[in-house]
């Protein structure tokens, strides 16, 4: 069992927790993830490591309440326990040789982008961050990005906070002006990452995307997180849990990935309804 040390709502649907897991905290690096179960009968869900405190032996996770499992997790309080917390899994984000990086985060994907930006800042790289949200009410982690970024751009789709537009707008403005980056790293909705990768490719800037699809075992055995890469005219299958979650954004078949994600929409809806009934009965 793993103890919840702190719990903090970041907005109406996004929650941050610190979990007591010293072995994971000691090994985890930016870009890696864990898989947890809330209780013995619960499903396994992957969540990116949003930070660690090796001295306290804690791991920070940030999650959006979208399905039954995240509803049950959000119903927990500091001092409560969860059943399983396994990790770190996946490969850490590559940082070698990168002196100037542009980090592009969208929505709750900013929770994954933040520790990556923090790691580059710790290593002394110049960090330019762009974070985007649908509206002011769901903006998260702005202060944390300010602390680890040399420049920060905040955009909202409706213009209710920061600047009006999507994250590709400031990215293309910088690239149009001749600004150079060793790498663009983007994390967020698939459609956003697709267009960030297309913009990066247009200017010949290497682009890394973080793929966090449906996962079950986190070891590559179930095949649930498979995705297709287009490499040198050939289509290759990879598994996000063991080969990623970071991939070359030029190569990912985003259209296929988005189609696969839509397959689970009905299941998530039923899962939310089931969890609501359980929580109402106090189970």
- As a whole number of angstroms, the distance between CA 113 and CA 50 comes to 8
Q: Going by C-beta distance under 8 Å and a sequence separation of 6 or more, which residues neighbour residue 210? A: 31, 48, 109, 112, 113, 185, 186, 187, 193, 244, 245, 246
pLDDT at 274: 46
Contact indicator for 158, 135 with CB cutoff of 8 Å: yes
- Per-run averaged pLDDT (10 residues), the chain, 283 residues: 96 95 95 92 89 95 89 95 94 94 95 94 97 95 96 96 95 96 95 95 95 65 78 86 89 86 54 49 53
Nearest to 157 by CA among 205, 181, 189: 189
- As a whole number of angstroms, the distance between CA 24 and CA 26 comes to 5
pLDDT at 227: 84
* Fold match, 2-89 / 100-262: no
Q: Going by C-beta distance under 8 Å and a sequence separation of 6 or more, which residues neighbour residue 123? A: 95
Q: Which CATH class is domain 100-262?
A: alpha beta
pLDDT at 275: 47
Cα dihedral 21, 26, 31, 35, rounded to 10, equals -30
Contact indicator for 213, 225 with CB cutoff of 8 Å: yes
Give residue limits of the domains in the chain.
Answer: 2-89, 100-262
pLDDT at 278: 47
Strand partners, 238: 227
CATH placement of domain 2-89: 2.40.30.10
pLDDT at 225: 76
CA dist 200 → 63, 119, 150, 180, 236 (Å): 28, 22, 20, 11, 22
């Amino acid at each position: 069992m793993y103890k919840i040390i702190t719990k903090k709502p970041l907005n109406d649907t996004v929650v941050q927790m610190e979990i007591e897991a010293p072995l994971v905290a000691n090994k985890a690096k930016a870009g890696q993830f864990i898989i947890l179960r809330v209780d013995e009968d619960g499903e396994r869900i992957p969540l990116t490591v949003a930070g660690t405190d090796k001295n306290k032996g804690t791991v920070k996770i940030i999650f959006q309440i979208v399905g039954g499992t995240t509803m049950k997790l959000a119903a927990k309080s500091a001092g409560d326990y969860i059943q399983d917390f396994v990790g770190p899994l996946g490969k850490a984000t590559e940082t070698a040789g990168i002196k100037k990086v542009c980090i592009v985060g969208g929505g709750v994907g900013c929770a994954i982008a933040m520790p990556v930006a923090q790691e580059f800042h710790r290593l002394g790289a110049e960090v330019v961050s762009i974070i985007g949200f649908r509206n002011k009410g769901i903006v998260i982690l702005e202060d944390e990005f300010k602390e680890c970024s040399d420049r920060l751009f905040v955009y909202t789709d409706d213009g209710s906070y920061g600047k009006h537009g999507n994250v590709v707008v400031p990215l293309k403005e910088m690239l149009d002006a001749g600004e150079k980056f060793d790498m663009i790293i983007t994390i967020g909705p698939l459609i956003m990452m697709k267009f960030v990768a297309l913009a990066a490719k247009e200017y010949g800037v290497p682009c890394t995307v973080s793929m966090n699809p449906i996962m079950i075992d986190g070891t590559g055995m179930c095949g649930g997180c498979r995705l297709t890469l287009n490499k040198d005219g050939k289509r290759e299958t990879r598994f996000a849990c063991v080969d990623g979650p970071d991939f070359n954004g030029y190569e990912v078949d985003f259209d296929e990935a988005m189609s696969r994600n839509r397959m689970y929409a009905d299941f998530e809806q039923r899962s939310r309804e089931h969890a609501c009934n359980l929580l109402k009965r106090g189970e």
